[in-house]
Amino acid sequence: MLICFRASIFVLIGMAFLVAGCSNESSTAGSDAGLAYVTNQKGNITVIDLASLESVSEIDVNGKGPRGIGITPDGKTIVVANVDGGDITLIARESGEIIKHIEIGENPEFVRVIGNRAYISFEPASLGGPPPTPGSEAAQKLEEEREEEDAEPAKIAVVNIESGIVEKEITGGMETEGIELSYDQTKLIITNEADENITVHDLESGEMIKEISTIEYGHRPRGIKASPDGSMYVGSIEYGNSLVVMNSEFEVITSIKTGEVPYGLSFSRDGSKLYVALAKGKVLQVFDTKTWEELGRGKTGTRCWHFTFTPDDSKILVACGRSDEVVVLNASDLSVVKRLTGFAMPWGIVAYPKSVGSLDSVWQ
């Protein structure tokens, strides 16, 4: 009897170690459903298991104010822009270990990872904090100060992720925000908030080859997204409550009215729908991309900037910065599945295996 009892104890201990090992693995490599990675501007990076829809771990970036985030196509590396650190952090995705910090410049914010390169916007002339209301006395004063001081425009750093080297810098406009690549990956399309325009640049030379004024549609262009087939590009005009739709030649073909303060954008995987995060409207709005009819709205939270689909397209996770939560929506009817709390001004969110979302795509 004593031998049997001792044997049972050893079996139980072995099982406990096995369960613990599995639990640890799920927090790094992830379950079959995948993982989502959320940047907290007032904290670090939260990892969400997409099977349980629970936060399972945290990646420490030393409180540098992480905002933009992207993942390499092979899933090996996470790239994060640290607005307070003036750098980006390369992170080994499965282990969560820091690979390298790369100095970028003042106020790095938006990240797009395409292939082996990361494109990061940074703003030497940014004063930090929320921008003044367009047309207000404060906005006019800020513009005058920048003119007097000959303020430096924003730039886009192009970083080779394998070597960790900044290969070039492309000059944008004042307060460059959104970044997108053309379908053939020869052009860079950016939104310039304070300049009230969208500009197209030759990726090799950095030279601006086209400027699209957005002032007639409202103030502060923010998001920019290419359709899966490259037939159109859509920009969000934050203080115009509108979208600007351009064809493959970057000619405006129509504008669409949205709810209050649109920002993050994403096409569905097949391109038939466009999803728009309404920062002030507190919803995720959906449009048919053939008719531009509104198809529905899903309730979110306060000041939601970015979102991602789960890899199986069944759910949408929306990062809501001012309510410190990630809201999970059912992709089929936009009903709320769950609200995850305990975040610290969540800004960006991406998933792996790679999915579609306002900061990522699967076709580039």
Q: Say whether 14 sits in a helix, a strand or coil.
A: helix
- Residue 68, burial from CB neighbour count under 10 angstroms (0-12, 13-18, 19+): buried
Is there a domain that residue 21 lies in?
Answer: no
Q: How many domains is the chain built from? A: 1
Tokens 């990361």 found at: 118
Residue 254 pairs with which residues in a beta bridge? 245
In 3D space, the residue among 356, 338, 127 whose CA is nearest the CA of residue 264 turns out to be 356
State residue 131's pLDDT score.
59
Per-residue pLDDT of the chain (364 residues; tens, 9 = 90+): 434 434 444 433 344 433 333 333 334 455 689 999 999 999 999 999 999 999 999 999 988 999 999 999 999 999 999 999 999 999 999 999 999 999 999 999 999 999 999 999 999 865 555 555 666 665 565 554 545 455 799 999 999 999 999 999 999 999 999 999 999 999 999 999 999 999 999 999 999 999 999 999 999 999 999 999 999 999 999 999 999 999 999 999 999 999 999 999 999 999 999 999 999 999 999 999 999 999 999 999 999 999 999 999 999 999 999 999 999 999 999 999 999 999 999 999 999 999 999 999 998 7
CATH of the domain at 270: 2.130.10.10
User: What is the model's pLDDT at position 147?
Assistant: 53
Question: 350: Cβ–Cβ under 8 A, 6 or more apart, which residues?
Answer: 36, 37, 69, 70, 71, 308, 357, 359, 360
283 occurs within a structural domain: yes
Residue 23 covered by a domain: no
Q: Strand 232-239's sheet: what is its strand order? A: 219-226, 232-239, 242-247, 252-257
When computed from its CA atoms, the radius of gyration of the chain, rounded to whole angstroms, is 21
Can you give the pLDDT at residue 63? Answer: 81
Query: In whole angstroms, what is the distance from residue 38 CA to residue 19 CA?
Result: 26
- pLDDT for res 136: 63
Does residue 191 sit within a domain? yes
User: What are the tokens at 28?
Assistant: 């790094």
The answer to whether residue 62 is domain-embedded is yes
**Three-state DSSP state, 100:** strand
Residue 4 confidence (pLDDT): 41
Enter the tokens of residue 230: 């490259």
In-domain check, residue 335: yes
Quote the domain boundaries for residue 171: 31-352
Q: Give domain status of residue 220, yes or no.
A: yes
Tell me if 364 is assigned to some domain: no
